[in-house]
Amino acid sequence: MTSWLASAQDSPFGLHNLPYGVFTAPDQPGRRRIGVAVGDFVLDAGAAARAAGEPSVLLDADSLGPLLAAGRPAWTAVRASLTAWLGDESYRAAISPCLLPRGEVELHLPFEVADYVDFYASEHHATNLGKIFRPGSEPLTPNWKHLPIGYHGRAGTVVVSGTPVVRPQGQRKAPSEALPSFGPSRRLDIEAEVGFVVGAGSELGKPVPLADFREHVFGVLLLNDWSARDIQAWEYVPLGPFLGKSFATSVSPWVVPLDALEAARVTPPTRDVEPLPYLDDREGEAWGLDIAMEVRLNGHPVSHPPFAAMYWTAAQQLAHMTANGASLRPGDLFASGTVSGPEVETRGALIELTWNGENPVKLPDGTTRTFLEDGDEVTITATAPGPDGTVIGFGEVTGRIVP
C-alpha cells in the first residue's frame, strides 16, 4: 500500500513507519496532542480518528500513556487504522485537514518515563571501557557473557531531543590528584544508544519470558546517555554510575512501533558462552535489529555505530530484567547501552573514539575534540530497513552543551 500523501513516498517516515510522538501546534501552544510522523507532516491522530468517524480515547490524549497501557491488540488495531487513513484514497478529504507541516510543531517527551534502565550490551564498548577504566584487569568482567549487565538510571531527567544540556558539576579526582575537587565536568561525553519503550505492564512476581517480548514492548527510539566520565570514574565503585549519568538523558521524540521493524530483524552475533535457558534465543524469535546509526558532532559525522553488532538483544534484556519477578509498568524505558562496533569509526562514545583523549577527533573547522566543549551540539540519527526496500527513519536526538 502507498499513501495518497505525496511526501510520504520514499520517505523514512513513510506508510511503513508511522512513529508516534506528542506535539503542540503553533496556534495552540498549551495543548499537547498525539502526533504521527508521515512524510513532511505530523498527523494529529486524535483529530484524524474523529474525522474518520472512529473517535479514540487512546489517540485523543496528551501523552502516549493510555496507548502504551492498552497493550498489543490495541497497538495493532490503531496501526491498522492509521495505515488505512493515510493509505486509502477514500480518506484523503477527511484526513488531509489533520496534517500539520512537521517543521512547525513543537515536539515533547512523548510519555512519562516510569523506570529507566540502561544496559551495557555491546561487547566492543564494554571491552573498550574495561581497558580504559580498569587497566591491567581483564576488560570484560566474569559475568559479562552470562547476563546482560544493567542498572537503573534517573527517569526524571530523561528529556526530549533539543533540550539544552547543562554541563554538570561534581566531584572529580584524577589519578594524579590526592583529593577530589568540585567543579564542572572536564570529561563530558555521549553514549549513542537505542531505547525500548514498554507498553503493557506485568505483575509483580511474574517474569516475562523471551517469547513475550512483543506483548510488552511498544516501540523504539534513539537515546543519548550523556556521561561525565570524570564524575563517573570517581563515584562508581562499588555501587555503579550515579551523578555521572543522572543529569540528563536525551531521547528522540518519535517512537518507532516495534511492528515497523520486522524487516530489520537479523540474527544476533554468535554467543561464545552458552546462555542459560531464560536467555537462550537460539530457538524461537531472536531480536537482533539492523539499525544503522550516525553520530554527528557540530554537524560533522564522527561515528557510525551498528546496532546489529550488539551481543545482547532487547528481548534478552527484558527477560533478564524481570527474571527476579520485578514488574513492568507502561512507560518503562530500557536502553541498549552504548552501541559500538569493532572498528574505531563505529564507536558510540567519545571516550572510545578518542581512546580516553589520546587520539582527539578532528573536526572540519580545524579544531579537535577529546571531550565535549560548551556550545557543542551532538546529533544521533538512525535508519533501518523497512519492507519492500523501504527505509524506516528514527529521526534524531540532539542536544547542545551549555555552561
Q: Which residues bind a copy of itself (CB under 8 A)?
A: 114-115, 117, 120, 130, 133-134, 141, 143, 146-147, 149-157, 159, 166, 168-171, 173, 179-182, 204-205, 207, 228, 231, 234-244, 246-248, 276-278, 320-321, 323-329, 332
Report in angstroms how near the CB of residue 155 gets to a copy of itself at its nearest.
Answer: 6
Whole-angstrom Cα distance, residue 312 to residue 140? Answer: 14
Report in angstroms how near the CB of residue 333 gets to a copy of itself at its nearest.
Answer: 12
Report in angstroms how near the CB of residue 275 gets to a copy of itself at its nearest.
Answer: 10
Q: Which CB, 4 or 278, lies closer to a copy of itself?
A: 278
Report in angstroms how near the CB of residue 253 gets to a copy of itself at its nearest.
Answer: 17
Whole-angstrom Cα distance, residue 38 to residue 12? Answer: 9
Q: Which CB, 180 or 269, lies closer to a copy of itself?
A: 180
Q: Which CB, 36 or 401, lies closer to a copy of itself?
A: 401
The DSSP string of 188-253 is EE--EEEEEEE-S---TT----GGGHHHHEEEEEEEE--EEHHHHHHH-TTT--STTTTT-EEE-S
Please, which residues have CB within 8 angstroms of residue 77's CB and are 6 or more apart in sequence?
none
Q: Which CB, 199 or 207, lies closer to a copy of itself?
A: 207
Q: How many CB atoms lie within 10 A of CB 95?
A: 24
Whole-angstrom Cα distance, residue 236 to residue 218? Answer: 32
Whole-angstrom Cα distance, residue 345 to residue 362? Answer: 12
Report in angstroms how near the CB of residue 301 gets to a copy of itself at its nearest.
Answer: 29
The DSSP string of 23-76 is EE-TT-TT--EEEEEETTEEEEHHHHHHHTT---TTTSSSSSHHHHHH-HHHHH
Catalytic: 124?
A: no
CB 188 within 8 A of CB 137: no
Please give the angle made by the CA atoms of 191, 306 and 137, to the nearest 5 degrees.
60
Report in angstroms how near the CB of residue 379 gets to a copy of itself at its nearest.
Answer: 20
Q: Which CB, 30 or 182, lies closer to a copy of itself?
A: 182
* Helix (H) / strand (E) containing 292: strand 292-297
Q: What three-state secondary structure class fits 378?
A: strand
Q: What three-state secondary structure class fits 166?
A: strand
Q: Which CB, 80 or 166, lies closer to a copy of itself?
A: 166
CA 104 to chain centroid, in Å, comes to 24
CB 361 within 8 A of CB 219: no
Task: List the catalytic residue out of 124, 125, 216, 304.
Answer: 125
Q: Which CB, 82 or 321, lies closer to a copy of itself?
A: 321
Report in angstroms how near the CB of residue 321 gets to a copy of itself at its nearest.
Answer: 7
Beta-bridged to residue 194, according to DSSP, are 222
The DSSP string of 327-393 is ---TT-EEE------SSGGG-SSHHHHTTTTTSPEE-TTS-EESSPPTT-EEEEEEEEE-GGG-EEE
Whole-angstrom Cα distance, residue 123 to residue 297? Answer: 24
Give the residue numbers annotated as catalytic, written as ranges. Answer: 125
